[in-house]
Amino acid sequence: MNQKSSVPQTPKSLRRVLTSDTGELDDAGFVGFLGTVFGHARHTMADGALAYVFMDWGHAWHALEAGRAVFDELKNICIWNKLSGGMGSFYRSQHEFVLIFKAGRDAHVNNLRLGSTGRNRSNVWDHPGANTGGGALEDAGRGAALALHPTIKPVRLLAEAILDATRPGDLVLDPFLGVGSTLMAAERTGRVCRGIELEPRYADAALRRWQAYTGEEPVHVATGLPYSEYAASLRDQPQPSAPTEAAS
């Protein structure tokens, strides 16, 4: 999604939810969680920007309910056909929904226009999942990222969506960056990625993946240190001791 430059601070209440096991939320709780996330994303989005929400079939209705309460229009529902079945006890799951919501009333960027631009896409996206060979050799850091996070999105899949609905230089926000597939897709397509990730291992993997692809070194904004020096400074800090049980 292309977005405005100002991003609000994540409230402590949302950070607590994000760092807890959201899989234990009931239906109302999960809809509320998604609504909070979508609301903060909506606040940053330019008028006319699109939000692409990937969701499995079992939770698609939660995302639809939350999204329709926050965004201004449901533009489409795409199907990512992963070409081979994954987990499932009744039917093995082979697809994922991509709910596309619009923020505001201005015209959205449309680089398809019935194929007049040379892009001709339907709302069924045939692309193997990253853990089944999709995106092999997409980037040098993909293997390590996949070992850490086995459900990463293929870079090419995300790059195609970015090319559909943004212009070169646009900002693309991913509030759940994971190990950086959206970052890689934005780099490849000439867009600027803004990502949020609370898990340090995933953030490190995303930075290493970007560094391997570009040959450049990330810089820590607050200190101005190159990534390697900042990471070394963290390793040198004393680690907290493990808690001990009180004597009975």
* CATH code: domain of residue 175: 3.40.50.150
CA distances in angstroms from 137 to 130, 142, 146, 211, 231, listed in the order given: 10, 7, 12, 16, 27
What is the structure's pLDDT at 7?
Answer: 36
Residue 135 covered by a domain: yes
What is the structure's pLDDT at 106?
Answer: 97
On whether both 147 and 103 belong to a single domain, the answer is no
What is the structure's pLDDT at 114?
Answer: 72
On whether both 181 and 150 belong to a single domain, the answer is yes
Helix (H, G, I), strand (E, B) or coil at 176: coil
Taking alpha carbons only, the member of 202, 164, 198, 167 closest to residue 183 is 202
On whether both 148 and 217 belong to a single domain, the answer is yes
Residue 87 covered by a domain: yes
Spatial contact of 47 and 104, defined as CB atoms under 8 Å apart: yes
What is the structure's pLDDT at 11?
Answer: 46
On whether both 160 and 225 belong to a single domain, the answer is yes
On whether both 147 and 224 belong to a single domain, the answer is yes
What is the structure's pLDDT at 24?
Answer: 77
Render each residue's pLDDT in the chain as its tens digit; 248 residues.
554 433 334 445 444 545 455 557 899 999 999 999 999 999 999 999 999 999 999 999 999 999 999 999 999 999 999 999 887 778 999 999 999 999 999 999 999 987 667 788 999 999 998 766 554 446 666 666 666 666 789 999 999 999 999 999 999 999 999 999 999 999 999 999 999 999 999 999 999 999 999 999 999 999 999 999 998 988 877 766 655 555 43
On whether both 26 and 82 belong to a single domain, the answer is yes
Residue 82 covered by a domain: yes
On whether both 158 and 62 belong to a single domain, the answer is no
What is the structure's pLDDT at 25?
Answer: 87
On whether both 174 and 103 belong to a single domain, the answer is no
What is the structure's pLDDT at 244?
Answer: 55
On whether both 7 and 45 belong to a single domain, the answer is yes
What is the structure's pLDDT at 129?
Answer: 84
CA distances in angstroms from 192 to 124, 171, 174, listed in the order given: 26, 5, 11
Domain boundary at 108, 139, 158, which? 108
d(CA 124, CA 217) in angstroms, rounded, equals 37
Q: What are phi and psi of 72, to 5 degrees?
A: -100, -15
Residue 95 covered by a domain: yes
Domain boundary at 56, 73, 108, which? 108
Contacts of 94 (CB under 8 A, 6+ apart): 81, 82, 83, 84, 85, 86
Residue 226 covered by a domain: yes
What is the structure's pLDDT at 23?
Answer: 56
What is the structure's pLDDT at 140?
Answer: 60
On whether both 76 and 174 belong to a single domain, the answer is no
Residue 195 covered by a domain: yes
Structure tokens that stand for 216 in this block: 């450049």
Structural domain count of the chain: 2
On whether both 99 and 151 belong to a single domain, the answer is no
What is the structure's pLDDT at 9?
Answer: 43
d(CA 119, CA 122) in angstroms, rounded, equals 10
By residue range, what is the domain housing residue 220? 130-237
Domain boundary at 108, 140, 156, which? 108
What is the structure's pLDDT at 117?
Answer: 74
